[in-house]
Amino acid sequence: MASDSDLKYMSGFGNEFASEDSRCPGALPEGQNNPQKCAYGLYAEQLSGTAFTAPREENQRSWLYRIRPSVLHEPFVKTERGNLTHDWDSVEPNPNQLRWHPFDIPQEKTDFVQGLSTVCGAGDPKCRSGVAVYIYVCNTSMGDKCFYSSDGDFLIVPQLGGLSITTEFGRMKVDPNEICVIQRGMRFNVAVTGDTRGYMLEVFNDHFVLPNLGPIGANGLANPRDFLTPTAWYEDRDVEQYTVISKYHGHLFSAKQKHSPFDVVAWHGNYAPYKYDLSKFMVINAVAYDHADPSIFTVLTCPSLKPGTAVADFVIFPPRWSVQEHTFRPPYYHRNCMSEFMGLIYGAYEAKEEGFRPGGASLHSLMTPHGPDAECFEKASSAELKAEKIATGTMAFMFESSYSMAVTEWGNQNKVDPNYSHCWQTLQKHFNSSWKPNGDGKQQKTFTF
């Protein structure tokens, strides 16, 4: 099982890293050129995350020094993909607000890949454009199997139970309230110790980066030094049959080989998996008036070609102080040019304390109105405006995308809350045409709750 000793600080996106298993000192070549023969009889293999000719500041690749090259496997054959799909057109569009109750853990033995179900998404991985949102539920380790995506980068958000993830770069233990990113082409295995559930976002276009801070300045939000990437760890293990599962064009393919794929003794580069502890997020919030836009809570973003518009943002709503004056503090009512998929890791989300539960989800599609429920609105409109700690013991998050996401057949048939819209139906009309401002220009209260 991986521990923090198996990880090292990234100390900044885009930086070069070098790591070798302590059992094989000198496995990393010295100098700029590789020798004719690698140390310890290893093979050199490059994993490229960007085009060779991408600008230097955007170029991502790593060199892996491994016992056997990854090409050593039998041909891929198509395999059962279960509830995993990128068919966005088989179900009629639905612009309504959607909410899902917590997704069930299967009774039968189910590993991470078998427990993947596509909830919604848009685009086409063949064109390297789009996103997909998944729920994973599992109770069994993958054993002698590994998984990778040729389609995009995975952002994994555990909600129930931790994941012990072995990658070609090393090992990571990812618990609830942590996230990890495993990028395109990286092979990984997931081990669990019991019932496990969580959320996963895949982006087809590009990679996640830290958002620009703009007027915030040099500090705040997610700090680069808090991201961890694995240290090299290898196993030299021959097996009767090891299965490599590839996600390609939204389908699954499997290939057999007779050795563990996690035989990388050393690696260097800037293309590697990483994890982040959400409790380390530095919240920036308003201290005078008006509710800040949720973009102020962005942890990671995958930018589109249009400046300021994301393929996908990963946004969190952590515990924080609410201290604004003369304003409505909960999230405002909203119609948006983005799709908003929300999940709850633990606790009670302040704008939906009833019905939105850990392990469940909601989707507010492009231009579909949403906002706090009636109970939240009435309570907040009458509350004393004093400094208040909110979201204590809570961690909600949002996958926000500029794509108009469609819900899959599985998403429409599993754990959908048919009564979600009821939470707004008791909102009252408070309009008073005879309202007059007070002498000081402030609003005169003419109604109570």
Q: Using the CB atoms, write b or e for 396-405: b if 16+ within 10 Å.
A: bbbbbbbbbb
Supply 377's token pair: 């609105």
Closest CA to 115 of 2, 192, 182: 192
Residue type for 81, please?
A: R
**Residue of 86, 207, 268, 364 marked active site:** 364
d(CA 242, CA 259) in angstroms, rounded, equals 6
326 annotated active-site: no
Our measurement of the distance from residue 208's CA atom to the centroid of its chain's CA atoms, rounded to an integer in Å, reads: 10
**Residue of 291, 353, 375, 378 marked active site:** 291
Burial class (CB in 10 A: 0-12, 13-18, 19+), 141: middle
Asked whether 218 and 225 are in contact (CB, 8 A), the reply is no
73 annotated active-site: no
d(CA 14, CA 75) in angstroms, rounded, equals 34
Q: Which residues pair with 227 in a beta bridge?
A: 276
291 annotated active-site: yes
Over 319-350, what HEC string results? Answer: CEEECCCCCCCCCCCECCCCEEEEEEEECCCC
Asked whether 160 and 357 are in contact (CB, 8 A), the reply is no
**Residue of 168, 340, 350, 400 marked active site:** 340
**Residue of 45, 334, 353, 375 marked active site:** 334
Strands (E), 101-176: 116-124, 129-138, 145-149, 153-160, 163-167, 170-174
249 annotated active-site: no
370 annotated active-site: yes
d(CA 54, CA 200) in angstroms, rounded, equals 27
**Residue of 73, 86, 207, 370 marked active site:** 370
What residues act catalytically?
291, 334, 340, 364, 370
